[in-house]
Amino acid sequence: MEVTRDRAWETLTRYTTSEALLRHALAVEASVGWYARRLGGDEELWRAVALLHDFDYEIHPTLDEHPQDGAAILREEEWPEEVVESVLSHAEHLAMPRDTPLKKSLFACDELSGFVHACGLVRPTGLDGLEPKSVRKKLRQPSFAAGVHRDEVYAGAELLGLELDEHIRNVIEAMQPIAAELGLRTAETADVN
Ligand SMILES: [Fe+2]
Ligand SMILES: [Fe+2]
């Protein structure tokens, strides 16, 4: 089958209704798509993998099912093995090698895009004007977006061979164009009252 972003969206939305999960998928898609352009990857493939990485989370919310039972569904639907393996590789508990730029980017963007999203939600201008320095400061506050695994954020930047600040800056830039879809305000829509 031909791997397209739209087909991945179709599979994702067949199994996922939660707005939070759909927004997570879109945020990771934007970030991984950004890295596809930066690293010369196949953007359509990378975006599809990003959209699919948590497609089964709503039906498999525990680590004894997600994402491995989801992988079986993807195989049944005849997604190519490259897609299935890349999806599986994002899960820490499966300890699979992240041996391609796509796998590295997916892992590096998964937690960080969620964290950057959380930072944007508490700012009147969303992601506009958000600096890596203030993201880093929030990373050091355990109570802020407590569900985000800090160690995976740091490991992700390292896996890409980037300084954390650069990686944060890239992810912010990647997510800015879809701020509205992510429920974020922008400098233009900021409530000035
Ligand atoms: Fe996951
Ligand atoms: Fe995820």
Average pLDDT of every residue of the chain:
97
In angstroms, the CA 50 to CA 90 distance is 10
Ligand index nearest the alpha carbon of residue 27? 2
Q: Which two tokens stand for residue 62?
A: 């525990």
Angle among Cα 152, 148, 99 to the nearest 5 degrees reads: 25
In angstroms, the CA 170 to CA 158 distance is 14
Whether 192 shows a pLDDT value over 60: the answer reads: no
- The pLDDT of residue 190: 79
Ligand 1 centroid to residue 65 C-alpha, Å? 10
Ligand 1 centroid to residue 53 C-alpha, Å? 6
Ligand 1 centroid to residue 111 C-alpha, Å? 9
* Model pLDDT for residues 109-131, shown as the tens digit of each residue: 999 999 999 999 999 999 999 99
- The pLDDT of residue 81: 98
Percent of the chain's residues with pLDDT above 90: 96
* Model pLDDT for residues 158-169, shown as the tens digit of each residue: 999 999 999 999
Q: Which two tokens stand for residue 142?
A: 């355990």
Three-state secondary structure call for residue 177: helix
Long-range contacts of 86-89 (CB under 8 A, 24+ apart): 86/49, 86/53, 87/49, 87/52, 87/53, 87/55
At residue 189 the predicted structure's pLDDT band, cuts being 50, 70 and 90, is confident
Ligand 2 centroid to residue 193 C-alpha, Å? 35
Ligand index nearest the alpha carbon of residue 21? 2
* Model pLDDT for residues 143-155, shown as the tens digit of each residue: 999 999 999 999 9
Ligand 2 centroid to residue 164 C-alpha, Å? 19
